[in-house]
Each structure stands twice: as structure tokens, then as C-alpha cells.
A and B are shown apart, each in its own frame.
Chain A
């Protein structure tokens, strides 16, 4: 039925047709709905069922626990902050849903819009890369980020970080993280501080207006520690245990506070083999290692060094970055040994920035971006090792 309709309207989109300028868009939707019939014309006669659509959709599925938890957490923080005592689960979820929905829609509309235009301009198929980026961006930004800022930053990074390099598969830096970085450096007032991480106003009659006070500062745990607090607390002022921090019911960027949900996503990525366990494991190893060094050589000048190494992993965006950001196959190291080095350094640098730079209480974003830049160098060394082994054999 749908197939017949598509076949009927297809000629309009072919060269010479009425809507030929929308050809890439039509192809994009057609291949989204139906697996293309194109068969192998050279080389192997059978192909694995996996394609990049499958890869991307699994990553999106792995992000769902974080998205759902983010909705709950957003609603919860607002309800607590505005003094609502009736914590109805569905009200909280609905509030969070309404808070994030415009951001998801805007990011996808801007990003996919640019992808569609570029694909048509180049005469190529639409690529799926932005399916993941579009959901990552709202998840790693504070909930109070204005929608227009998201649109500007997304457009900037899709164009200048991805498309100018040639599109999906050719970018050097992680597109979602650059979006975050553009926001962070371009609009520091709105993106950091204590009041960005909690949705502060009612939406469609749900929730309330948050009133900040000494008892309710809205600061993230890492911010509190960087500012000299003895122990991190949640928004209501209760001291966070490692377990509380692991569960993630505290102020932070929308989808990255719950290490539990991040690990649920990680499990899906590892079971399906979509993300590299080498990178994931070595980021955590690097974080633990650097956390341990910082903890061993504690200094009152750097309050972050008093955090237990295990707490370093569950606070802030560290786990999220390890599982979803560092493992982006395009911008990470591509060789086996390179992945261990890359991941370990991401972990180490994230903690170094977090602990020894009081200006930025969160280091994961900058660590991944820095290592994105260094990944080709790491791979170059691994490839050279393979080459010199071959040359040695030749001389022997």
C-alpha cells in the first residue's frame, strides 16, 4: 500500500521530475521505510544485514534510559525547587518530557535540515550520522539552555565541524561535543553557574517557579566541591553518597547525571558490539588511575582532589562521555592498540581538568575533544609500528 504510493510518486523526484531538487530527501525517506533493493554488482554476492542505519539506531536505543531518566530528574528538580510536595510520578515525567521536547525537535530540525540540503547539493544519499548527534545534543546540555542557542550551536557544528570536512565519517571532532563547547564558550553565563541545571518555570501548568536560596542553590555536585563544599549534596541539601550519585537524582546536564542509566546503555552497546569495549574500559581505567593519583596527593588548593576515585566516575558527565562520546568511531582512534591509549588518556585528562582547573568543574567534554585531535597521531604511531615490523622482516 505504502510501497505502491512511493512507487507512484517516485518519478516526480527523479532527474527531470517535478521535485527533482528534493531527490535526496525522497531517497532518504524511501530507504528509511524500505530496505533498498539494490543488489551486489561486484565482489561478494551476500552482504551482512548490518548497515549504518542499524548502527545508529542501536546507539539511539542505548540513549533511551538516559533520556527517560533525564525527564524524571528534570521534573523532580523543578518540583523540589518550587516546593511542590505532591511528587506524582506521571506529573514529574510529563514535566520533563515537555521541558526536553522542544530542544529535541529544534536540534533535529536544524541538524537534519542542514544534512538534507548538503546531501541534495552534493547529489548524495542522506547519511544517518545526525540521528545520534541530534539526541546527544539535548542530553548533554543544561536544561535551561535557550532553544535558539541550541539551534545556533547545532548549525555551527554541523556545518563547520562535519560538512566542511566531507560529512559523516570524515569529521575530526565529535559533532555533539563541539555543539556543547560552542555553547559553553560562546554563552558562558547561560551555560554554567548554578542556575542553568534546573528547569525553573512551570510548563503547561505543571511544576512551579523555582526559588533559589542558600538552602536550594541548584549547584551541581562538582560545582559545590570546586567552590569548597566539604561534601556534595543534592538540590535539597542532603549529602550525596556514592550510591546516590550513581543513581543520579541531582542537578546536572539533562541526560548525563545517572551513571546507572549510562551503564544500561553501555550494556546494550557492548552486547551488540556496536561500541568499542576497549575505549570504554580504558576511559574508566584512566579516570580511576588519575582519580587515585589526585586523591593520594590531596591539596586544599584543589578541592576536587579530595573526591574519592570511585566518585570521580559517578559524578558529572564522566560516565556519559566514556560510554557515548569517547566511543564515537569516527573521531576516536581506529586501531586496536590506539583505542587503549586514546581511552586511557581521555580518562586521565578528564580528571586532570576537573581537579586542577577550578574554573571548569567538568573536564570530560574538553578531554574527549582534545583526544579527538590527538587520535590520528596515536593511530599514526600504531600504523608506523606495523610498517617498521614489515621493514624489519624485509631486512632480516
Chain B
């Protein structure tokens, strides 16, 4: 196993209140309902594999992809299909499953020979639901079968605001992790890179390259890692996944099926007691948050995920992919702030030194969801570059996307990026542009 260290300088760690500490409690929750939301899986066009009322076991497919029918999203629990919720033009919003104790003895077990070929492993991954947990670049979508990745990037830490430690999540699963990474090495002619922080203590198999990355967020983004190790060129494909998925691939290979238990970090300034909740993927949020949201009369924003890339949910919503974090912050639509732009308050969070708060190093903030300003044209220059540790000119790429100029987008490296890589740019932007949405539209436009 080779080892490389990389230090990134550009980026930003948001200092938010309501993070986990090593002493934070752990609670186990058995949700009454779980739901799988196909919108969490870009590039996946869902067709239901079940009907309302069907009794299903853990690991049974709920939906499959319209084009590559083997790619499935599976039920993380035993139970009954409660509802197939559809939106406009009958688009599937989610499939809800009422969890019931029981029949998982009958669940499908994949028997994969130790010397199984690439094809056989990939089929098992698609049918077991693990395939959809990976992403490919270009386009940041569920990998399209049939293209061999030049490299595979496995991220073993999450650098997003208030994110939990992935190392803690996979500790004690060394055998499964090793098996999963070995399996991934069989799927590419190139290399499997595993990126960690420098205090990583678990053993990694010899097939992988260990990359130690230091520096602020977005250091944990797969795209940032790829850009600093082996950038994606036009015509190439890479796969990205997190270490938890790699462990599940190991479980599939060793035991015939992956487990869908997950540890969820419940964080944010409006959470009474930040804690880890052990539940299953797609769990409903109400039991996860039960009794743990501050009753301070403020409107709350419940985010399934972190504050940068998570999805806005109601308190009765569901956990979204990658099923590891819930953040609750004030919504802020109930605040009257007089001349906020002139504020000298030390409580205003900003990466700019034009606020008093920049004098207090290490101070933690409790920002709300307001835009803190009006939408404008790009006025300030080189703002995005400060938080973009990739060889990309973000302003120019965004402009190419807005003008729908495919050739220019290609030249400026759209194949190397995902919306999440622009999340911090969107945060610091004084013009309040919707950069992640713009990048997603650009990726979809180029793909079609």
C-alpha cells in the first residue's frame, strides 16, 4: 500500500453550534416507516418494482432503473409497502415502507464465488442496491454500467459542517472494509484511492492507495480529492463512494447481503442535545428528532444532511442519501433585523473580514436560513476561488453554464465537478447566486 499526503489550503470550515462531542449520547431508534427517495440518486430513472400493500423483506427491490433494469433501490427493512407517493406528471417522489418485525430470514442472499469476475460482482452490486450508493464523474450520477472507471475514489472522512466521523462508523468492521476495497480493486484497471485524515488508525488492504488529506472543507469531497490526485479528463469515468458503502460491498461479498443500519448525527443549533442515532437508511425523521428540537418558539429548518448540501425536509420527513446526518437550524423568516448590512454584531457569521465576528477566532455561530441579501449579478471577483481547491476557474465555468455553451463548459472542466464542490462558493457568494442548482443544470444539459 502506498501512501501520499496532500495539504489543501483553499476552503472553509464553518464554525457552527450544535456539533457532536466524543461524549455525545448514542440512541437506538426503530422507525415505524422508512422511505426511499429516488431524487437522491441523480441519473436513476425510477420504475416501481412493488405495489402498495406488498409484503417485502429487507433487501428486496423497491424500484429499478428504467434503462438499466438491474440497478435497484432496495428496502432497508422488512415490512409492507405503505405508499408509492407520486408528484406532478406521476413522478415518483418516494416509496414508503411500514417497518414490521420478521421475515428477513427469507431475504435474498447473493452467493459470489471468491474468484468471481467483474460482471458477476457488478450484477450483485446493482441488485443489492449498493450500486446506486456510488457516483460517477462526469455528471455526478449513479454510475452507468458498461464503462470501466479509470480510478475509484473512496472517501473515509466527511469534512462538511458538523458531520460525523466515518472512521467511527466503520471501526470494528476491518474484515468487511478490507474485502470491500479488494473487491473495488477488481472493478477498475486503474487505482483505488482511499482518502483519510492523518489520524486514521484502521488498517487498509495493500490493493489501495492511502491518501492523507489535510485542510478545510471541501477536502472531504471526492471531486476535490480526484482533482488533486488524478483529475478526470474528457472521455474518462471515475467512481466515487464513501467508506461506509465500501464496507457494505464487503458485507455483500462475505455474507451475501449488505446491512442497511446507519449512524445518524443529529446536529445543529436548534437541537437540544446533539447525539448519534442508530437507525436504518431512509428512516422517518420524527423518531430520530423526537423530543430533541428546542421549543424556543422559532421556526425551524430541518435539513436531512449538512447545511451545505442537505435537503430541506419537514420534521415528519425522511432521511436522505447518504443517510448520515440531520441538522436543525432556525429558519429565520420570523426575524426583523434593522439594517443588517450595517451590523456591527459579533454574532453574524461571515468569511469576510468586514464583520466584527472575524476578530473572534474559534467562535461558534448559529446562523439561520436567510439569504442575508438580495440576488445580484456577479460583482466581486475571485470570491469562489478562495474556497475551491481544484484547478477550476469557477466564475468562468458558471458563466459558461449559464450561457449553455457546451464546448466552453468542457474546456473549463465541467467533467471534474459536482454541485457539492460549489456549495462553499454558494455560501460565501455576496451575490447570493444558486450555484449548486446552476451546476446541476449544467451537468444535466451536457449529459443530454
Q: Which residues from chain A sit less than 8 Å from chain B, CB to CB? A: 2-3, 31-40, 42-55, 57-58, 125, 127, 129, 166-170, 271-274, 276, 329-330, 332-336, 339, 383, 386-387, 389-391, 393-394
Distance in angstroms between the alpha carbons of A47 and B309 in the assembled complex: 12
Are A51 and B341 closer than 8 Å at their CB atoms? yes
Rank and list the top 5 A-B pairs by shortest CB-CB distance, nearest first: A51-B373, A169-B377, A35-B340, A53-B341, A334-B381
Distance in angstroms between the alpha carbons of A57 and B354 in the assembled complex: 10
Centre residue among B337, B380, B429, B437 by max chain A CB count within 10 A: B380
Are B412 and A387 closer than 8 Å at their CB atoms? yes
The residue on A at minimum CB distance from B351 is A48
Residues from chain B with a CB closer than 8 A to the CB of A39 are 301, 331-333, 368-371
Cβ of B310 within 8 Å of any chain A Cβ, yes or no, is yes
Cβ of B307 within 8 Å of any chain A Cβ, yes or no, is yes
Are B350 and A49 closer than 8 Å at their CB atoms? yes
Render B424-436 as a binary contact track against A, CB cut-off 8 A, 1 for contact: 0011111110111
Are B352 and A47 closer than 8 Å at their CB atoms? no
Which one of B61-69, B103-111, B389-397 is at the interface? B389-397
B354 partner, pick from A36, A272, A336, beta carbons under 8 A: A272
Render B391-424 as a binary contact track against A, CB cut-off 8 A, 1 for contact: 1010110000000000000011100000100010
A–B pairs, 15, beta carbons within 8 Å: A32-B339, A34-B338, A35-B341, A37-B332, A39-B301, A46-B14, A47-B370, A48-B349, A50-B428, A51-B430, A125-B375, A169-B377, A329-B379, A329-B381, A339-B382
Cβ of B385 within 8 Å of any chain A Cβ, yes or no, is yes
Asked if A50 meets B430 with Cβ closer than 8 Å, knowing A35-B370, A45-B312, A389-B391, the reply is yes
Distance in angstroms between the alpha carbons of A343 and B83 in the assembled complex: 63
Are A37 and B333 closer than 8 Å at their CB atoms? yes
Distance in angstroms between the alpha carbons of A24 and B337 in the assembled complex: 20
Are B376 and A34 closer than 8 Å at their CB atoms? no
Residues from chain A with a CB closer than 8 A to the CB of B367 are 46-47, 49
Asked if A34 meets B379 with Cβ closer than 8 Å, knowing A39-B332, A46-B349, A393-B231, the reply is no
Residues from chain A with a CB closer than 8 A to the CB of B327 are 45
The residue on B at minimum CB distance from A129 is B379
Asked if A50 meets B301 with Cβ closer than 8 Å, knowing A55-B380, A383-B396, the reply is no
Residues from chain B with a CB closer than 8 A to the CB of A274 are 352, 354
Are B307 and A45 closer than 8 Å at their CB atoms? yes
B427 partner, pick from A35, A48, A57, beta carbons under 8 A: A48
Are A166 and B377 closer than 8 Å at their CB atoms? yes
A50 partner, pick from B234, B354, B381, beta carbons under 8 A: B354
Distance in angstroms between the alpha carbons of A53 and B338 in the assembled complex: 13
Main secondary structure of the interface of A (DSSP, over half): loop
Are A169 and B233 closer than 8 Å at their CB atoms? no
Are B436 and A46 closer than 8 Å at their CB atoms? no
Cβ of B378 within 8 Å of any chain A Cβ, yes or no, is yes
Cβ of B448 within 8 Å of any chain A Cβ, yes or no, is no
Are B423 and A54 closer than 8 Å at their CB atoms? no
Residues from chain B with a CB closer than 8 A to the CB of A390 are 231, 233, 391, 411-413
The residue on B at minimum CB distance from A171 is B377
Are A37 and B374 closer than 8 Å at their CB atoms? no
Distance in angstroms between the alpha carbons of A349 and B375 in the assembled complex: 36
Are B379 and A37 closer than 8 Å at their CB atoms? no
Are A168 and B307 closer than 8 Å at their CB atoms? no
Query: Nearest Cβ in chain B — how far from A272, in angstroms?
Result: 4
A393 partner, pick from B233, B373, B377, beta carbons under 8 A: B233
Are A45 and B303 closer than 8 Å at their CB atoms? yes
Are B377 and A387 closer than 8 Å at their CB atoms? no
The residue on A at minimum CB distance from B341 is A53
Are A54 and B341 closer than 8 Å at their CB atoms? yes
Distance in angstroms between the alpha carbons of A58 and B356 in the assembled complex: 13
Residues from chain B with a CB closer than 8 A to the CB of A330 are 379
Residues from chain B with a CB closer than 8 A to the CB of A273 are 352-354
Distance in angstroms between the alpha carbons of A388 and B340 in the assembled complex: 44
Residues from chain A with a CB closer than 8 A to the CB of B378 are 169
Centre residue among B354, B412, B423 by max chain A CB count within 10 A: B354
Distance in angstroms between the alpha carbons of A35 and B370 in the assembled complex: 9
9 other A-B residue contacts (CB within 8 Å) besides A45-B308, A47-B373, A51-B376: A3-B336, A32-B341, A34-B337, A34-B338, A51-B371, A54-B342, A272-B354, A334-B382, A390-B412
Cβ of B314 within 8 Å of any chain A Cβ, yes or no, is no
Are B310 and A47 closer than 8 Å at their CB atoms? no
Are A169 and B376 closer than 8 Å at their CB atoms? yes
A52 partner, pick from B338, B340, B349, B374, beta carbons under 8 A: B374
Are B430 and A54 closer than 8 Å at their CB atoms? yes
Residues from chain A with a CB closer than 8 A to the CB of B413 are 390
Query: Nearest Cβ in chain B — how far from A113, in angstroms?
Result: 20
The residue on A at minimum CB distance from B381 is A334
Asked if A36 meets B371 with Cβ closer than 8 Å, knowing A45-B307, A272-B354, A383-B396, the reply is yes
Residues from chain A with a CB closer than 8 A to the CB of B368 are 39, 46
Asked if A52 meets B373 with Cβ closer than 8 Å, knowing A44-B423, A45-B329, A394-B233, the reply is yes
Query: Nearest Cβ in chain A — how far from B226, in angstroms?
Result: 13
Distance in angstroms between the alpha carbons of A339 and B426 in the assembled complex: 23
Cβ of B372 within 8 Å of any chain A Cβ, yes or no, is yes
A394 partner, pick from B234, B329, B338, beta carbons under 8 A: B234
Are B430 and A33 closer than 8 Å at their CB atoms? no
Query: Nearest Cβ in chain B — how far from A16, in angstroms?
Result: 23
The residue on A at minimum CB distance from B375 is A125
The residue on A at minimum CB distance from B415 is A390
Query: Nearest Cβ in chain A — how far from B9, in angstroms?
Result: 14
